Amino acid sequence: MAKDIEVSTAESQFILEALKQNYRLDGRSFEQFRDVKITFGEELGDVLVELGRTKVHCKISSSITEPYEDRPFEGLFFISTESTPMAGPQFESGNNTGEDEVLISRIIEKAVRRSGALDIEGLCIVAGSKCWAVRASVHFLDCDGGFVDASCIAVMTALLHYRKPDITVHGEKIIVHPVDEREPVALGILHIPVCVTSSFFNPVDAEQNIKGEENSEIVLVDATLKEELLREGVLTVTLNKNREVVQVSKAGGLPMDAMTLMECCHRAYDITERITDQILAAVKEDIAKRDKYSAILSSENAR
């Protein structure tokens, strides 16, 4: 990933030697995804996701604007990823044209926006003149590897958690009801993509990797920053619970056997299933906590 921080020769040899003996520095097994911690902020659509020591914050905001001329029935949806030196010395502020920044934001864009995770047709208010613009701002707060995975979870959790103000339409006139007047409405989420990143290490020399038969490459799921700095190849798979591959990106790096890559995809599916459940449970719990008047307003009775 970063160019500015380097792992010392002694440490990199130690990590690689440990990997050859089936040990990871943090004691995880090779296929183990770090525990995900999801915390909600004060407002709706304000989420902090922690993946080990990686911290990503996502906030959803919305406003009413004019739709694009060529797509009058669709609302707007933007994802902006912001990396500042806060996340680590390897990030420059204001410069997001670095190789890794571009790859990270492109993968999140493909995973969430282009896959149609958010129902943008549902954001249309008056065809051709008014629609909702939903913006997800992702901020990287602390970096210990797995930015793509953490941001994808953060964006999806925030979208599921967000409620936009209710509106009524009278012809061309729109009334936006304040949140304390009318219950705000949830966004239409069509599926929940989850990214899982696998990193590849080559324990033998380059010729063995390309010409050899044995496929002895080491595959790690969810690498930490140090592992990311040392890895030779990376594969990010995005899946959803419907067994659909949303996006796969292996932009070069160590050549890997096709069957090994398929195994990575299947392994990613198990992780995806677990994380999807966790996201849904976390959102449900938090929304229930906020919904303090439902008991009073409900007409349900003991019978």
Partner 1 sequence: MSQFEVYSPEGLRMDGRRWNELRRFETSINTHSHAADGSSYLEQGNNKIITLVKGPTEPALRSQLDQTKATLSISVNVTKFSKFERSKSTGNTKNERRILEMQTALVRTFEKNLMLNLYPRTIIDIEIHVLQQDGGILGSLINGITLACIDAGIAMYDYISGVSIGLYDTTPLLDVNSLEEAAMSCVTLGVVGKSEKLSLLQVEDKIPLDRLENVLAIGIAGAHRIRDLMDTALRAHAEKRVLNASKR
256 binds partner 1 (CB under 8 A): yes
- The number of residues that bind partner 1 (CB under 8 A) is 40
In the complex with partner 1, the residue whose CB is nearer, 83 or 247, is 247
Tell me the two tokens of residue 217: 């490459």
In the complex, what is the shortest distance from the CB of residue 247 to partner 1, in angstroms, rounded to a whole number?
6
Amino acid making up residue 62: S
Neighbour-count burial for 44-80, b at 16+ CB within 10 Å, e otherwise: bbbbbbbbbebbbbbbbebebeebeeeeeebbbbebe
Taking the least distance from each CB to partner 1, the nearer of 17 and 99 is 99
Stretch that binds partner 1, among 14-22, 38-46, 143-151, 233-241 (CB under 8 A): 233-241
Smallest distance from partner 1 to CB 166, Å:
32
State the DSSP string of 42-90. SSTTEEEEEETTEEEEEEEEEEEEPPPTT-TT--EEEEEEEE-GGG-TT
Q: Are 271 and 240 in contact (CB under 8 A)?
A: no
Choice from 25, 204, 262, 281 touching partner 1 (CB under 8 A): 262
> Judged by CB under 8 A, does residue 174 bind partner 1?
no
CA distances from 243 to 40, 189, 194, 240 (A): 28, 17, 11, 6
Residues 196-225 binding partner 1 (CB under 8 A) are: 206-207, 209-211
Is residue 71 involved in binding partner 1 (CB under 8 A)? no
Q: Which of residues 88-117 bind partner 1 (CB under 8 A)?
A: 97, 99, 102-103, 105-106, 110, 114-115
For partner 1, the binding residue among 269, 273, 278, 280 (CB under 8 A) is 269
Q: Using an 8 Å Cβ cutoff, are 55 and 48 in contact?
A: yes
- Phi/psi region, residue 76 (left: phi>0; alpha: psi -120 to 50; beta: rest), is beta
* Residues making contact with partner 1 (CB under 8 A): 97, 99, 102-103, 105-106, 110, 114-115, 206-207, 209-211, 232-233, 235, 239, 243-259, 261-262, 265-266, 269
